[in-house]
Amino acid sequence: LTHFNPMKTLFKHIIAGALMAGSFLFPPAHSDEIQSKPNPLVLIMLGPPGAGKGTQASMLHDQLHIPHISTGDLLRENIRQETPLGKQAKTFMDKGNLVPDQLILDMLFERVAQADCAQGYILDGFPRTLLQAESLQTRLKGHAQPIVLNLDLADAQIIERLTKRVVCESCGTPYHLAYSPPKKKGICDKCSGKLIQRTDDTEAVITKRLKVYHDQTAPLIDYYNKLNILHSIDCNQPKEKIFSEVVAYIPKPSK
């Protein structure tokens, strides 16, 4: 026979009640919920060369403090350091062609796996093909919140912009010699680096890059539209006005 101990029974009931109330107030997280938890923002800057992806991405970086990742800048850094990837990529870039998908995907996914990207990041110049976009979606699914900002600009304006563009050799900040010149000629306002004209910003290569954009990258507008995450912005206006439209599409962090 076991002795009935009223105090022990009462204690057991109190513990059981507390556990039930706890699981009601704080339900156990499902494993999917844990993975998607901070649900970081992945901002995708889409648009033709010269639409202002780099400028807007850099302004977003200053405001949101998440990394600005430009595949073009990563490739140019590889070229400068004469890495095997840089040597391979240069032959495509000099002609205005796209660098093969697999090289880009390996390079980009290695970059976004770094710790500084855990709270989200801004993609500038990626994806540029349907295969790149699909690979990114597969990687992000359930772990991040992609938002696509499609910067829209007509071809004639692109040529006018790119032939007068100079960029900082060190930090990549772009300037337009007529519309947004640096304070000091040839010197970057941000880091005092040297301003240069990109070797692929000549009229012949720009024309090729535009064709490549229309053939291979513009179909992504439709792809992201169907996913309901595309926002288009007219880029034939001052960069501050474009920025205010861009920012309006970015969800505020939930508290």
**Distance between CA 230 and CA 249 in Å, rounded?**
10
- The reply to whether 128 belongs to the active site is yes
- The reply to whether 209 belongs to the active site is yes
Longest dimension (CA), the chain: 97
Burial 134-171 (b: 16+ CB within 10 A, else e): ebbeeeeeeebebbbbbbebeeeebbebbebbbbbeee
Q: Is 223 exposed, middle or buried (0-12, 13-18, 19+ CB in 10 A)?
A: middle
Out of 76, 87, 90, 128, the active site residue is: 128
- Contact between 93 and ligand AMP (CB under 6 A)? yes
- Contact between 92 and ligand AMP (CB under 6 A)? yes
Q: Which stretch binds ligand AMP (CB under 6 A): 57-65, 94-102, 142-150, 188-196?
A: 94-102
- Contact between 121 and ligand AMP (CB under 6 A)? no
Q: Which stretch binds ligand AMP (CB under 6 A): 5-13, 88-96, 152-160, 233-241?
A: 88-96
Which residues, 6+ apart, have CB-to-CB distance to 34 below 8 Å? Answer: none
Q: In angstroms, what is the C-alpha Rg of the chain?
A: 25
Residue 234 C-beta: closest distance to ligand AMP, Å: 20
- Contact between 223 and ligand AMP (CB under 6 A)? no
Out of 12, 37, 165, 211, the active site residue is: 165
- Contact between 48 and ligand AMP (CB under 6 A)? no
Which residues, 6+ apart, have CB-to-CB distance to 108 below 8 Å? Answer: 69, 71, 74, 123, 126
- The reply to whether 139 belongs to the active site is no
Assess contact for 80 and 63: CB atoms under 8 A.
no
Beta bridge partners of 69: 123
Pattern 65-84, ligand AMP, x by CB under 6 A:
------xx--x---------
- Residue of the chain from 68, 165, 176, 209 that contacts ligand AMP (CB under 6 A): 209
Out of 8, 12, 37, 53, the active site residue is: 53
- Contact between 52 and ligand AMP (CB under 6 A)? no
User: Site residues for ligand AMP, window 166-205 (CB under 6 A)?
Assistant: 200
**Distance between CA 56 and CA 239 in Å, rounded?**
8
- Residue of the chain from 44, 45, 60, 98 that contacts ligand AMP (CB under 6 A): 98
Assess contact for 157 and 176: CB atoms under 8 A.
no
Out of 198, 226, 239, 252, the active site residue is: 198
Residue 185 C-beta: closest distance to ligand AMP, Å: 23
Give the binding site for ligand AMP (CB under 6 A). Answer: 49, 71-72, 75, 92-93, 96-99, 104, 125-128, 132, 200, 209
Name the residues annotated as catalytic: 53, 128, 165, 198, 209
